[in-house]
Chains A and B, each alone.
Chain A
Amino acid sequence: METGIRILLLSVVLALSGCASLRNWLDRDTPKEETQDEAAQAESDDADEAPPRVIEPEVARRKIKVPKIDTENFEVGGMFGALSVEDFGTNPVYGVMAAYHVTEDFFFQAEAGRSTAGKTSFETLGGNIQLLTGDERQFTYYNLALGYNFLPGEVFLGRGVAMTSSFYLLGGIGSVDFAGDQKFAVSFGAGYRVLPTDWLAIHVRMQDRVFDSDLLGENKLTNNLEANIGLTVFF
């Protein structure tokens, strides 16, 4: 069996090399005549002006493959900060964000975050009163926003390091899941972005998430301020 395969492989190799040499031989024949003709013509045309060309260049024009340019318009990362839920104190918040940079000025941003609200002063003072269960205290939000970059600049670290930076404004819509209910929320804020390298960005942001709440008896617009620090990568 094994010898059979060997014979097969050997014959394939022989056949291939035979074909190759045959092609070389055929190829060599045809252009030779042409070059001879051309040379003769050149000689008769300008016999005393230029010496006949000895070597005919047979360089085929190479097709240049253009390398693809790496586009880095997407940005993803995480964030951590503090969220002040109106009437429920300030608590840590963590989340993820992703952005698509459409132009140098505008970008689309999606973000989602979670925090756990604390106690209202009513609960703290009232002793055993619990307004919300543990699950209901979880404050989860998502937000789709449009961002606008402005005040581009550079930050200098000592003599040798310069990092590009920019301020940006954010305005968006989303929803907040809090106290067993999901509400439509509008958010607006501003941020500051510093890029230590081309692909890494540090964000410092401040946002206000506004939504209607009737949790404490009356229907009112609540302002929930959030400050966070984010780390994102461009790809």
Chain B
Amino acid sequence: MEPEVYFIRYAYPCAHILCTVRGDVSEGEFKEMEMAAIQNRVMDREYLEKVFFRAFNRINKIAEEMGKDRWDIDVIREYFVGRHNNVLMDSDYPESFREMCKTYLAEVVSMEEDGEVTVKYHSELGGEKKRKVKKDYFPELKVGDKVMIHWQYAVEKIQ
């Protein structure tokens, strides 16, 4: 997968907040990101670095540490999967919001009538939790599949 697509799949739900709350991202831009994520469309790197500058502040540091390019998929994965939840510890976010921001490894437990799936995951808050997520990126997703979840999305399939 192209790193731009991988990045936008993780970052896209955050763009929703940027769009809804502050208008930092316009509705049109938001739709474009959605299409890029679903149709594997490669977006302009400079544009993404500008919109998600706070994420790239951290990604740049990780790239330096790993001795790799910031657009190396290993670097982006290390940010979203490896570090992101720890970064959130310092945030002032309300707990329920922070929980959705975190990335979790989850397992699909049931298919829903509206085309979404319910997954279960071990929450850092303690215990097993369930969440209903969209499977737009993986139409073939089935019960038992393992995925990384971020917000209301199954973002990445884990073999």
Instruction: Report if A and B associate in a common complex.
Output: no
